[in-house]
A = this chain, B = another copy of it.
Amino acid sequence: MDISRLRDLLEKVQKGQLEIDQALGHLRSLPYEDLGFARVDHHRALRQGFPEVIFCPGKTPEQVAEIAFRLSERSSMVLATRASQEVYEAVVKLCPQAEYRTMARAIVLEQGPLPPPSGRVLVVSAGTSDLPVAEEAAVCAEAMGRQVTRLYDVGVAGLHRLLDRQEALWAAQAIIVVAGMEGALASVVGGMVDKPVIAVPTSVGYGANFGGLSALLTMLNSCASGIGVVNIDNGFGAAALAHAILRVAENQ
C-alpha cells in the first residue's frame, strides 16, 4: 500500500464512504514502511542512500542479467559484486553499457550524466594479494559517487612505505584499510590519524590464518581507536560504511 492508496482510504473516510471500523481494519494491516515510496528499488535508495546492489554468488548469470536490466530501467547506476566473467557476458547482452572491472570482480553500469564524485575515500591495502578486495571497495565507493584514492602494498613489513605517504592519510575523510595475514595495518593506520578507519580483514594468508580469522581478530582487538570492522573480504561493505559516513558530512 502506497501513499496514494492511503490517501484514497482517508478520502473515503472523509466523504463518509467508509466506516471508521472498516478503516481501522484496513489500517491494522497497513504496510507500515511502504508509506513513503512506490516500489522496492526506490525504497532502498531512499532508506539506505544507494540502490540495491546485486550480490552475484548463488545466482545464475541469467538471473543477474535480468535483475540488472530491471534495476537499470529505474536507476542511473547499477552495481553487481562478486561477478565472474561469465556473469558479465550475460549482463552485457541485456545492458550494453555495463562495464566489467576485472580486479574488483564487479559490474558497473552508469547511465546519463552523473554528479561529480564527492567525499574523499582512501583505500589502503597491505599486499598485492589483497587487491581484489581493495578494488571491490574502491570500485563500489566510486559507484556510490565517492572520490577514491588508492594506496596499495604498504603493509607493516616495510613500514617506511606507509610513513612516506602520511599526507594521503591526512587528506582523506574516511579510510578503508584492507589487510590479510595478520592484519596489523589497521592498527598502525588507526594510530596515525583521527579519521574513521574501516578495517576489512581478508582471507589472504595460509596456515593459522584460518580463512581470515587471524586478521579479523587483530582488527577487532586493535589498540588504536576509531576503527570499525566489516566482514572478511567484504569490500562492498566497507564502501557502504564509508558512503554512510560521508553522508553524515553532507546531510548536516
Chain A interface residues toward B at CB < 8 A: 1, 3, 6-7, 10-11, 13-14, 16, 20, 23-24, 27-36, 40, 43-44, 47-49, 53, 55, 57-59, 126-129, 155-161, 163-164, 166-167, 173-174, 181-184, 187-188, 190-198, 201, 203-234, 236-237, 240-241, 243-249, 252
Contacts and interface: CB of A to CB of B under 8 A. Distances in A.
Contacts of A212: 207-208
Query: Among A31, A155, A197, which residue has the most Cβ atoms of chain B within 10 A?
Result: A31
A107 B149 CA distance: 35
Assembly stoichiometry (copies)? 8
B249 A31 contact: no
Query: Among A164, A208, A230, which residue has the most Cβ atoms of chain B within 10 A?
Result: A208
A236 B225 CA distance: 9
A228 B228 contact: yes
Nearest to A250: B249
7 contacts: A48-B225, A57-B129, A159-B192, A184-B187, A184-B188, A208-B217, A225-B237
Chain A to chain B: the 5 pairs with minimum beta-carbon distance, closest first:
A228-B228, A33-B160, A207-B232, A184-B184, A225-B240
A32 B163 contact: yes
Contacts of A173: 248, 252
A35 B47 CA distance: 24
Contacts of A16: 14
B192 A47 contact: yes
B187 A223 contact: no
B30 A3 contact: no
B27 A6 contact: yes
Nearest to A249: B249
Contact of A231 (B34, B213, B221): B221
A198 B245 contact: no
Nearest to A161: B40
A42 to B, nearest CB: 12
A188 B189 CA distance: 12
B157 A191 contact: yes
A244 B231 contact: no
B241 A29 contact: no
Contacts of A231: 206-209, 220-221
Contacts of A217: 182, 208-210, 213-214, 217-218
A14 B57 CA distance: 52
Contacts of A226: 48-49, 240-241, 243-244
